[in-house]
Amino acid sequence: MRALVSVSDRTGLVELARGLVRRGVEIVATSGTGRALAQAGVTARLVEEFTGAPEMLGGRVKTLHPKVHGALLARPERDDDQADIARAGLELIDIAVVNLYPFRQTVARPHTFEEAIEQIDIGGPSMLRSAAKNAARVLPVCRPEDYPAVLRALDEGVTPEFRRALQARAFAHTAAYDSAIAEYLGQRGAEALPETLSLTVERQQTLRYGENPHQSAALYRFPGVAEPSVASAKVLQGKELSYNNLLDAAAAVGCLVDVPRSNEPACVVVKHLIPCGVARAASVLEAYQHARDGDPVSAFGGIVAHSHEVDRATAEEMAKLFLEVVVAPSYSADAREVLAKKKNLRLLDLPAVALPECSSGLGKLELRSIPGGLLVQSRDLALTDVRQAKVVSRRAPTEAELSDLALAWAVCKHVRSNAIVLAKDGVVMGVGPGQPNRVDSVRIAAQRAGARARGSMLASDAFFPFPDALLAGVEVGITAAVEPGGSVRDEEVIRAANESGIALLFTGERHFRH
């Protein structure tokens, strides 16, 4: 038997090569791989000796040769192939161990365009595709984690099922590689949304089920996206994360990111994708208590995200309530000890909760499926500072009102439209989500706030088409409001604010969330 070995990722290379040699397999290697094997004391025949042709063009051409691809694609059981094998003097290759130039790693760090182009592998994908096409005879091996299974299969017998599995992985590997190149080159064009969208996602884990038990589900990740997220968080304890857990935890972290920056701890409680409790306070404990008490009924069974390390006091308080998931940048040892008693509670460690704007092209896109296709848009990463918003009322907001308007406006971005948020003293008092009209959203937010609505600030994700929703807020005691503006009846809304004596700000920025 003969194995062609050409790898950029040399994880497990020496162990595999020694295992192949012990099983009587001759190794043919490209120059870099051959040097690595020679240093480890493993004998390998170099490709230029195998083909009789030296590398050329600075190494760009070394395996693009009939003796390589003929040796991979040949079908010796066919008479016509046997004649070509003899005429060309082909030495058949039975195993192709190939992984590709580190293109994603190169473009993820500072680089020049020329450096990126040089990391486009040509020979590697060609060899993998040839081997995979002929997987009925050749084993195409592209993942170091498959090396032990390959050695076992050589001992126990290679099954058709194993061949098909390696074949599928090889074509997925080359497809992902080409997608990465297309994505990178597409980012350099003028179009934010390319004409052809190449998507490659890697399954990270299979989930127990989807939104409901009769639906199957899995978590996939975009390779090369460095943005810290729930998908990359470390699970410290608890039951396996469910589909709904992941959606809610992502919503909680996304909202937390937009809570106005300060040194004060912040906490977000999410239930069914709705931030039902949000607060800033002097301590992590107080932030959690205020966020929980923003809607204590909804907080039961909720998802909690913290901006600061969870301490023992906060852990003890959280342990009093049934929660599904807690996300935080860290946990004290005492907090871990307390929460360990809640066996089913999922604890996620996400060190960089204050997420940067991600750099990946795919990471900047939001994808939603509809029957027959995908809707794609850029992610809503904008958030106007209310201190830069236009004061359109006669009365300007006070500093305290501005602080709470900023909180309400940030949270409103993460609430389903039509969205209304009431905030006071650094705490979200009431949320009115997802109603077909804005007046009902105000009423729901006010109902949840109760008496606390008096003296609160109101944020609306889109403009008020009529003064009625604003006046509904005035009835329950709001003193200031922020909205995008832009309605043909803006003057009527401004007049209603002035007659009511409240402050009104226009941001010029809408945050619909369907």
Extract the runs of DSSP E, i.e. beta strands, from 212-328.
217-221, 234-237, 266-271, 274-280, 302-306, 323-328
CB 408 within 8 A of CB 422: yes
134 with 96: CB under 8 angstroms? no
* Cα–Cα dist 480/338, whole Å: 41
Q: Which residues of the chain have pLDDT under 70?
A: 187-192, 224-227, 261, 352-363
- Domains of the chain, first to last: 2-187 (3.40.50.1380), 231-349 (3.40.140.20), 386-506 (3.40.140.20)
Q: Are 329 and 307 in contact (CB under 8 A)?
A: yes
* The token pair that represents 476 in the structure block: 């329950």
Tell me if 285 sits within 8 A of 314, measured CB to CB.
yes
Q: What is the pLDDT of residues 58-89, one digit of tens each?
A: 777 777 788 888 889 988 888 888 888 888 88
pLDDT at position 192 is 65
Amino acid identity at 99: N
What integer pLDDT is reported at residue 54 of this predicted model? Answer: 80
Q: What is the tens place of the pLDDT at every residue in 230-257?
A: 888 899 999 999 999 999 999 999 999 9
Strand pairing category for 420-424 and 274-280: unpaired
| pLDDT value, residue 178 | 86
- Amino acid at residue number 403: S
Overall pTM surpassing 0.85 (yes/no): no
Sheet holding 45-46, edge to edge: 45-46, 26-29, 2-6, 95-98, 139-141
pLDDT at 362: 61
Give the active site residues: 133, 272
Assign residue 89 a region (left: φ > 0; alpha: ψ between -120 and 50; beta: otherwise). left
Question: pLDDT of 432-443, one tens digit each?
Answer: 999 999 999 999
